[in-house]
Copies of this chain bind each other. A is one copy, B any other.
Amino acid sequence: MKEHIVIVGSVALDSITTPFGKINRGVGGSSVYSSLAASFFSPVAIIGVVGADFPGGFLAKLNKKGINTDGIKREPGKTFFWRGKYSWDISTAISLDTQLNVFEKFDPSVPEYLRASKHLFLANIDPVLQKKVLKQMKPRKSGGFTALDTMNFWIESKKKHIGALLPGLGALLINEAEIRQYTGEHSIIKAARQLLKKGVKTVVVKKGEYGVGCFSQKGMFFLPAYPLEDAVDPTGAGDSFAGAFMGYLASSGKITWKSIKKAAAYGTVISSFTVSGFGVNGLIDLKKSDVDKRYREFVELVHFEEVRRIGG
């Protein structure tokens, strides 16, 4: 059995309205999207918390996909709830209601047998909780790799806590507006360089429908988004990108600049499925063969030259 990627993040019930429809109290949350995405490549274990209202059948569905839920606590009270809507261009979410509920007192605990896992993904939640999980993991040898995702809300309210997590970080996933917010730099290249100097090994800047940029000491790398005619709900796109990115890296063994590039391509492909359905609908019944097919299509959509060697 391959080792699990440990993912800590939110498990949520989301009510989402977009110009193309809506979903009421659907399962969502950063750890759900990212673990579903990662599960195409590697076993995953979620660390999180749900309330009494959480549909138990959903955890069984996750288990069937190789997603370990031993680290998901069930507490009395309600599951974290988010209500949001997107305007006609579905690029920006407007939060209408956020109820932390059981998340308010969440004290994450990584099951003992998962603490030696090499791959850790700190999905988008309070950086104080991200740190708690990081500290519980056993010191990981050179093969260890931690990635972190965050959002504008935490950059505004807990920037110092995020800053403390950056040195030595394998990958920081952050969107375009957020990296500008965090660094105060308009130029994404300068902003990324600032974060590399703080000890982040790879900075991944997500630009939504405009794709993604990766920055490391090895260089830069850019991908457009997979083109979609009918994106219906962007919720979870960034989480799915991160999960697939992490999943591919865990499955590929060594972390190299070449594997980072391919991981970003798989992240792009998986998140294109996410936004094609409401909530997790685009991911939950997705087959690995569909992922691989779209990956091959994506190669044709962006390559213009035969490459002798990409480097690795």
CA distance A63 to B190 in the complex (A): 39
- Structural contact, B304 and A222, CB atoms closer than 8 A: no
- Any B CB within 8 A of the CB of A213: yes
Within the complex, what minimum Cβ distance (angstroms) separates A87 from chain B? 11
- Structural contact, A213 and B227, CB atoms closer than 8 A: yes
Within the complex, what minimum Cβ distance (angstroms) separates A268 from chain B? 10
Q: A303's contact among B186, B213, B219, B305, by CB below 8 Å, is which?
A: B305
CA distance A303 to B258 in the complex (A): 10
- Any B CB within 8 A of the CB of A262: yes
**CB closest residue in chain B, given A221:** B301
- Structural contact, B229 and A189, CB atoms closer than 8 A: yes
Q: A222's contact among B189, B224, B305, by CB below 8 Å, is which?
A: B224
- Any B CB within 8 A of the CB of A51: no
Q: A88's contact among B186, B223, B228, B300, by CB below 8 Å, is which?
A: B186
Interface residues of A in 280-310 (CB under 8 A from B): 299-307, 309-310
- Structural contact, B305 and A186, CB atoms closer than 8 A: no
Tell me whether A222 and B307 are in contact in the complex, defined as CB-CB below 8 angstroms, given that A227-B213, A229-B189, A229-B190 are known contacts.
no
- Any B CB within 8 A of the CB of A104: no
User: Which residues of A come within 8 Å of B, CB atoms?
Assistant: 88-89, 186-190, 207, 210-211, 213, 219-224, 227-230, 258, 261-262, 264-265, 299-307, 309-311
- 27 A-B pairs, CB-CB below 8 angstroms? A89-B186, A187-B229, A187-B230, A188-B227, A190-B229, A207-B210, A210-B211, A211-B222, A213-B227, A219-B300, A219-B301, A221-B302, A221-B304, A222-B224, A222-B227, A222-B302, A223-B304, A261-B304, A262-B304, A265-B304, A299-B307, A302-B302, A302-B303, A302-B304, A303-B305, A303-B307, A306-B306
